[in-house]
Amino acid sequence: MKDDDKTNQRWAFEANLGFFVALLTLLTLGIMTFRDTQNLVSAAGEASHHQEVHEAIQNLLVSISESEKAETVYHITGDTQFLRDDPSLGEIDLAFTRLRTLASGNREKQSRLAVLAGSLDRKSTLWREISRNRQHEKSHMEAVSNALKAESVTLHDLLKQMAEDEDRVLQTDSRESQAHASRATNTLLLLSGFMVLFLSLAYRAMVNDIRARQQVEAKLMELTRLDALTGLVNRRAFYEALEHERARMSRYKHPVTIAFIDLDDFKQVNDLHGHAVGDMVLRKVATTIRENLRKTDTVARVGGDEFAVLLPETGASAAECVLRKAQQALHEEIRSESWNVSLSIGGVTHLIPGESSDEMVRQADALMYAVKASGKNSLSVVVLG
């Protein structure tokens, strides 16, 4: 039992340590998964933002290109009516406002937007000067018109550069998102695998714990069925075996013999030699009886110096032969140790099951006392049923 306790304690320590390490690993993997997921969400958000900025730049370019159609008509016809009626300046203003709102948190973009805003202001000023002042000299109007063309080129260059920058940022964000997604996926797979391993270990630990408990319970149950001094089964276990044989007798109609063995004058051994010697005698009697019976037979210590024997499928003649053999072996042991005791044995062979186990045991016990009363140190087997 001590070795089993040490083994169980070592196993419990290793199991607890393993669970602690597993939980720590799971926590680490969980933190890594959370971090990678957060990075993935952040990268996806950044990519979405840059996509919106890129679309705003494209919308502004479209609005500027639409305004250039009216400018082209003016350059061809010289009629400023097209500039006065065209809504392009308002659309440009709305598109630029949208772009500036999206880029409000980026200093680098703010500096470029300032340059872009200045160019747009100049374009708007030139546009209005052409559309509202028709009495200027032709040379002045040509200069203003050329300046408007130049401003359009400047705007296209600025927006083209901004679009290219956003494309580069989008590509970078896309690569980072893919990298974060890959890491998050790998970590999640690792976490899932470790969870499966952890659950497997937990299941195994639970099964081992149940088995260990069952083993302990089985040992305790076995101890409740054994006599601590002799190692034989006790009265309770003897009755369980007898109930089993009574059921078998009903099915197979075979005989069963029950014998009670009592040590004559055992009290004198305790009085003369002490209880230690008395215990030795009891252990020797138990061992000798057990060695001279079959494995299928049951030997129990049912009292201080009383033993009971259950002989399944054994008739009276066979039972008497077996019991006499055990009696002779015990007499030899007793004489070799100079113990002044003898044996009174009463056996009852039942051809049919008795009314109850108690009744069958009482009949064997009564016969043993009859043998003892008739002069001790004798053996008697009778048949009932």
Pair 195, 245 in one domain:
no
CA pair distance 316, 296, nearest whole angstrom = 17
- Measured CA to CA, the distance from residue 68 to residue 79 in angstroms comes to 14
Cα-only R_g, the chain: 53
Lowest mean pLDDT among 104-118, 136-150, 323-337, 344-358: 136-150
Instruction: Please indicate, yes or no, if residue 164 is contained in any of the structural domains.
Output: yes
- pLDDT tens digits, residue range 207-260? 776 776 667 565 655 557 888 889 899 999 999 999 999 999 888 889 999 999
**Claim to verify: residue 46 and residue 144 sit in the same structural domain:** yes
Please indicate, yes or no, whether residues 44 and 177 belong to a single structural domain of this protein. yes
Return the CATH number at 185.
Answer: 1.20.1330.10
Residue 43: what pLDDT?
66
- Domain co-membership, 172 together with 262: no
Round to whole Å and give the CA distance between 26 and 28: 5
Please give the share of the chain, as a percent, with pLDDT higher than 70.
81
Clarify whether residues 17 and 153 are in a common domain. yes
Q: Which of 150, 181, 200 is the last residue of a domain?
A: 200
Task: Establish if 210 belongs to a structural domain.
Answer: no
Q: Do residue 21 and residue 158 come from a single domain?
A: yes
Q: What is the pLDDT of residue 138?
A: 66
Domain boundary residue, one of 177, 200, 223: 200
Which two tokens mark 1? Answer: 């039992």
- HSE-up of 147 (CA within 13 Å, CB side)? 18
For residue 19, tell me if it sits in a domain.
Answer: yes
Q: Are residues 252 and 109 in the same domain?
A: no
Are 310 and 297 a contacting pair, CB within 8 Å? yes
Q: How many CA atoms lie within 13 A of 112 on its CB side?
A: 22
Task: Flag the least confident range among 86-100, 131-145, 244-258, 309-323.
Answer: 131-145
Query: By mean pLDDT, which of 7-11, 97-101, 211-215 is the weakest?
Result: 7-11
129 lies in the same domain as 247: no
Strand partners for 298: 310
pLDDT at 381 (0 to 100)? 94
Q: Kindly compute the dihedral angle of the four CA atoms of residues 346, 350, 355, 357, in this order, to the nearest 10 degrees.
A: 50
Same domain, 193 and 46: yes
- Whether residue 317 is predicted with pLDDT greater than 80 in this model: the reply is yes
Whether 95 maps to a domain, the answer reads: yes
Q: Look at residue 245 and tell me if it is in a domain.
A: yes
| 342, 281 contact by CB (below 8 A) | no
Please tell me the distance from the alpha carbon of residue 96 to that of residue 85, in angstroms, as a whole number: 21
pLDDT attached to residue 137 = 62
Asked whether residue 214 is assigned to any structural domain, the reply reads no
Q: Do residues 116 and 160 both lie within one domain?
A: yes
Chain segment 333-367, per-residue pLDDT in tens? 888 887 888 899 999 999 998 888 999 999 999 99
Assess if residue 180 is contained within a domain: yes
Q: Is residue 143 part of a domain?
A: yes
Reported as half-sphere exposure (CB side, CA atoms, 13 A), residue 8 has a value of 14
Do 40 and 161 belong together in one domain?
A: yes
CATH number at residue 300: 3.30.70.270
Enter the pTM of the model.
0.48
Number of structural domains in the chain: 2
Which residues constitute the domain of residue 379?
235-384
Rounded to whole angstroms, the Cα distance separating 365 from 362 reads 5
Does residue 49 sit in the same domain as residue 189? yes
Higher pLDDT, 249 or 13: 249
Whole-number average pLDDT of the chain: 81
pLDDT for the residue 324: 93
